[in-house]
Structures are given as C-alpha cells and as structure tokens.
Amino acid sequence: MTAVEPHPPIDPELEAVWPTLVEAGLTWTNVTPDQIPHLRELFLADQPTDDFLRRGGTIEVEERSIPGPEGAPELPALILRPAGRTGPLPCLYYTANGGKILRSTRLAITDLELDWIADLGVVMISVAPRVGPEDPHPAQVEDAYAGLVWTAEHAADLGIEADRIFIFGKSGGGGVAAATALMARDRNGPALAHQILIYPMIDDRETTISSKFEDVLWDRATNRTGWSAILGDTVGGPDVSPYAAPARATDLSGLPPTYLETGSSEVFRDEILDYGTRLAQAGVPIELHSWAGGFHGFELFAPDAEVSRAAVAARTSYLRRAVRPAKTPTAPV
C-alpha cells in the first residue's frame, strides 16, 4: 500500500460544511466499485430541473439525441440558449461526466453556467458521454469527440460560431474535455478556441504527492475506483492512452488557450499543476489557479465562502475575456 500523504489545511469556511457533507453521503470517500449504483442513485436524483435551467425565462432549453461514434448509440445533448439573442454566438461545449462513472447532461450545471449563458450570450451544448464500467475507454472520449464534430458541422443551424467553440468540463468531465481537445488536434478535427478545465481528472497513475491524499472529498481510494471503471486492469500501467488520461500526453503543443484550476487539498492538485506547466512550456497560453484550502468541488458545496466567490469570479473573468469581440488593430498615428 502506498503511503498516505497529509493534505494542506482546509479553508475554515469550507471545513465548516464538511459535517453536513458527511451526513449527506457527499464526501466520495473510500468508494468501492460495488457502491457505484448507489452513488448514481444519490447524485442523479437531484439534477437541475427545466424551471431552474430556464432561469426565469432568460434561457431556452432543448434536449436532443445526436449521432454518436459510428456503430455506437446516440448521444444525449442538452442545448441552452440565451433567450432573445440572435446568433451566431460563442459556444460552450460541456462534457458532462462525474468521476468516469456518472452520466447526465445536467450534471454539475449551476447558477454560474446559467449566468454565463444569459449574461455573456453563449450557447451551452452539454453532452453526456457513456461511462464505466459498462462502457470502458475509449467510449467516453469517442462520444465527446463525435458530439464536438456534430456541433461544429451544425454550427449554422445551432446559431453558434464554429470558430469560437470553448470546450468545458469539471472533474471527470474536465478530463474528458482535455482528452477531446487532444483528439481534435490529432485528428485535425474542429478547432477549439479555448479549453476550460475545472479540477480535471487527468492522471490514473497515482504517483504524485496529492494523489495519495485521504480524508478529502474524492479521495485516493475513490479515484482508483473511478479510473478502474474505464481502464480495468490496465489502470496505472504503461499502456494507457492519453485519450483516457491526458496527463500521459508527451506533446501538448498546438492545444488551445487553457484555463485550469484546482484546490490545494485535492487528489488532482499535482497532476493539474504539472499539466499547466507543461502546456505553458509547449507554448500554450494558460491561466492556472490553485485555490488555497480548497477541496474537490468546494465552490459547489460552499458557494458563499470567500474562496468560492474568488474561484467563480476568476472563471467568469476568463470566459468574459474569451468571448469579447476581437479588436481591429489600429495603425499608430
């Protein structure tokens, strides 16, 4: 057994919500494969409703089934448009996934994303790729890539700008987003304007200091369960594809400008910091945040904490800058 590493202190405002998370069974600690059905029942029973997504009539909600990879089932898609806005508009392509094992187009959509749609004027297309253990790698990334291709090919019908697609994901979905960006680059697929990776799950190898953290939300044991769900016995071995675990990619050049964030007290911290560093070294513009005292998903569970407000503001600032119209250079007088 690999040695346990102590995690940095949790922010006091975040630590105050921990007993409530424990009582509700939301801490994702020591999850074993046999508990996956229960976790799905727990987390998927409380997904955002249509009324919530409509945000008082400011957002139009549409559900579709779109083509998946050749020979695979269709892919569920949720399309959220700002009401009353004419296109073409920038597109936020959201790869919804929880820990490689949860699937819902509405997963982890919060007020923040709805604010982006209504206030910044973006169209959000959320797809729900297949999950493990029923559908191992490469089902997730192939689904996400197929959805991206469909989105780009139908840009005119969707009212979006094909050259301003921002791929976006959180946690397991952040890992799928990073993998899809690699696949789009390598297959000469749709050009992505940005990738926005929120505490992404990108490394199966459990070799970093933070990968050995316990007593945190989404701990070491649970992380192993999630990775094993799509990789089986190959998890941690030498032959895992970077399209499953993007941290394994050795060439990060040619990827889109990237926003990355992590908490200082989460299992994914070191792999995210390393990925950001290597992106920068490969010439990719990056914005990288490590929120002191943050555990995995902290802003979801303690939205009023000061560090949560700072994280949300940083994401919004990045997207606002990404969607602003390009300025036409002026000649010096």
Span 204-244, pLDDT tens digits: 999 999 999 999 999 999 999 999 999 999 999 999 999 99
d(CA 48, CA 56): 14
SS3 78: strand
d(CA 96, CA 77): 10
Angle at 254 between CA 244 and CA 160, to 5 degrees: 85
- Please state the pTM of the whole predicted model: 0.96
d(CA 304, CA 161): 34
pLDDT in tens, 51-69: 999 999 999 999 999 999 9
The values of phi and psi at residue 268, to 5°, are -80, -5
Residue 327 has pLDDT above 90, yes or no: no
Average pLDDT over residues 74-79: 98
User: What 8-state DSSP symbol labels residue 321?
Assistant: H
CB atoms within 10 A of CB 121: 15
Average pLDDT over residues 165-173: 98
Rounded alpha-carbon distances, angstroms, from residue 315 to 184, 246, 303: 23, 22, 14
Residue 165 has pLDDT above 50, yes or no: yes
d(CA 139, CA 202): 16
State the pLDDT at residue 2. 54
Is cis: bond before 37, omega within 30 of 0?
Answer: no
Average pLDDT over residues 86-100: 95
Confidence of residue 333 (pLDDT cuts 50, 70, 90): very low
Bridge pairing between strands 75-82 and 123-127: antiparallel
* Token duo for residue 217: 């939300």
Confidence of residue 326 (pLDDT cuts 50, 70, 90): low
Residue 246 has pLDDT above 70, yes or no: yes
State the pLDDT at residue 309. 98
State the pLDDT at residue 1. 43
User: What 8-state DSSP symbol labels residue 212?
Assistant: G
DSSP-based helix, strand, coil % in the chain, nearest 5: 40, 20, 45
End-to-end CA distance of the chain: 68
The average confidence (pLDDT) of the chain is 95
pLDDT in tens, 261-290: 999 999 999 999 999 999 999 999 999 999
CB atoms within 10 A of CB 56: 10
Residues contacting 305, CB < 8 A, separation 6+: 11, 13, 14, 298, 299
| Residue-wise DSSP of 31-75 | --GGGHHHHHHHHHTTPPPHHHHHTTTTEEEEEEEE--STTS--E
3-class secondary structure per residue, 224-277: HHHHHHHHHHHCCCCCCCCCCCHHHCCCCCCCCCEEEEEECCCCCHHHHHHHHH
